[in-house]
Amino acid sequence: LVCAGLEKYGSEEQKIKYLTPLAKGEVIGAFCLSEPEAGSDATSQRTTAIDMGDHYLVNGTKNWITNGGTASTYLVIAQTDAAKGHKGINVLIVEKGMPGFEVGPKEKKMGIRGSDTHTLLFNDVKVPKENRIGADGFGFAFAMSTLNGGRIGIASQALGIAQGAYELALKYSQERVAFGKPIFNHQAIAFKLADMHVKITCARLLIHKAATEKDNGEDIAHSGAMAKLYASEIALEVANEAVQIHGGNGYVSEYHVERMMRDSKITQIYEGTSEIQRIVISRGLVK
């Protein structure tokens, strides 16, 4: 989200200063949109960026921020002119260490524990005007455009979880013997694996379609939402079935599928919930 947004919309100066070290892997970035009162309703930004002439004064709270603790570069979506609604929102580049910027404790999450998630606090953070990306009021459009592409990434993450869970389940079904034969040879298990394989294949094709359209410069709001919705839904289904195929072993950490089941759930929530994806898809039907 951070690199793609800077690459597409950042100025040359911003790309040199921020995107280059990000692309080299020297630093990590964080995309800061969600707030306690602004999750799916991204227009309800409470974090403010008051125009002070040569700089903005940022105050507010962001939560559920991926890489919140490890990042050095933060893209912060904030309200500058509430009277303009979503057209009064800007996106600012904030650096770790700026006075008044504080990283809260790491969240204790059900899944994706290898990814640090934090609340961020802004108390009169002075951000130079040159750190604004795009024209005044471009922040909301920036966020929505960037998320459209990011949803293909989350769909791919969901696909990877599903593929991994399926492969572990398939392997286990050929090794585990019950009633005198490997459980794969029992139709109840074989049919589960067949359904898992079909769903994974469908998800992969949807993702490839959306990614191809993105590479071709097409509008991917519709295809990206479809890919993200379907891949995230089947990731949880496939991981759940993988646990079932493992039986009691699937419920313990040694066999990994329980972690995949926990990890899969977040793909239905972040970067747009499944409910939001259905809104995007349904609106696209009548355009």
The residues that are catalytic are 271
> How far, in Å, CA of 123 to CA of 57, rounded?
8
Phi, psi of 169, rounded to the nearest 5 degrees: -65, -40
Q: Which residues pair with 78 in a beta bridge?
A: 90
Which of 121, 124, 151 has the alpha carbon at shortest distance from 61? 121
Q: How many residues does the chain have?
A: 287
Query: Residue for token digits 């990306």?
Result: 133
The DSSP code for 118 is: E
Which of 199, 200, 221 has the alpha carbon at shortest distance from 210? 221
> How far, in Å, CA of 210 to CA of 220, rounded?
6
